[in-house]
């Protein structure tokens, strides 16, 4: 009994094999269509345009603008691109001292792509920079960030210098303070 023809390759070839008389299925053509094109080179590097677009996308969704672009959050993410990642005078103050989101537009000009790839794979900063997020990116994403930021060109001034703990920063700054521990609970009656 013949299986009912289906779209599966196995069924088609089975049918062709047991069909009496002249071949009705051109198996050579079928095979030619199904054989993947010869792959001589490994997957090509995405185009420059694709890398930059990915870098822009990552900058938006990974939150880099939130801290490194002045006024970004306040504008609801409307800051024009030519002002992106120019660093921020808004300090982040906590037990680590006071840190300022660096001017990444200047930073990427200091190094070529290979240096950035090494640097970003091992990035260690003080809080609240999510350096772990950058380290967790795969190389193609870190390359895309580089291409995008580098293509924006240098702009702005270096961010203010880091202040060690105990040094009061100029306003404005964000102070990270834990609320006081809750008062011990009164023993319940009974």
Residues that bind ligand HEC (CB under 6 A): 62-64, 66-68, 92, 99-102, 104, 107, 123, 125-126, 128-130, 133-134, 145, 162
Between CA 190 and CA 183 the distance in angstroms is: 21
Min dist. Cβ of residue 16 to ligand HEC (A)? 55
Q: How far is the CB of 135 from ligand HEC (least distance, A)?
A: 10
**Least CB distance to ligand HEC at residue 179 (A):** 20
- When the beta carbons of 105 and 107 are compared against ligand HEC, the nearer one is 107
- Nearer Cβ to ligand HEC, position 53 or 123? 123
Which alpha helices (H) appear in 88-170, and where do they start and end? 104-107, 113-121, 131-136, 139-152
**Toward ligand HEC, which CB reaches closer, 84 or 92?**
92
Q: How far apart are CB 59 and ligand HEC at their closest, in Å?
A: 7
Residue with tokens 């880099």: 64
Q: What is the dihedral of CA 110, 113, 114, 116, to 10 degrees?
A: 60
Quick one: 46 or 130, whose CB is closer to ligand HEC? 130
Shortest Å distance, C-beta 63 to ligand HEC: 4
Residues in CB range of 73: below 8 A, 6 or more apart: 66
Which one, 5 or 153, has the nearer CB to ligand HEC?
Answer: 153
Comparing C-alpha atoms, which of 93, 56, 98 is closest to residue 176?
Answer: 93
Tell me: cis bond preceding 128? Omega within 30 of 0 counts.
yes
């Amino acid at each position: 009994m013949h299986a009912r023809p289906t779209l599966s390759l196995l069924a088609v070839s089975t049918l062709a094999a047991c069909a009496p008389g002249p071949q009705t299925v051109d198996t050579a053509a079928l095979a030619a269509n199904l054989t993947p094109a010869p792959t001589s080179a490994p997957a090509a590097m995405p185009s420059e345009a694709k890398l930059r677009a990915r870098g822009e996308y990552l900058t938006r969704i990974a939150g880099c603008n939130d801290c490194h672009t002045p006024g970004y959050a306040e504008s609801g993410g409307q800051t024009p691109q030519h002002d992106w990642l120019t660093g921020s005078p808004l300090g982040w103050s906590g037990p680590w001292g006071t840190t300022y989101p660096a001017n990444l537009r200047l930073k990427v000009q200091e190094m070529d792509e290979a240096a950035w790839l090494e640097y970003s794979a091992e990035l260690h900063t003080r809080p609240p920079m999510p350096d772990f997020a950058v380290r967790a990116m795969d190389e193609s994403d870190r390359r895309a960030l580089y291409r995008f930021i580098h293509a924006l060109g240098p702009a702005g001034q270096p961010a203010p210098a880091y202040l060690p703990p105990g040094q009061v920063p100029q306003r404005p700054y964000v102070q990270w303070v834990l609320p006081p521990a809750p008062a011990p609970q009164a023993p319940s009656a009974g």
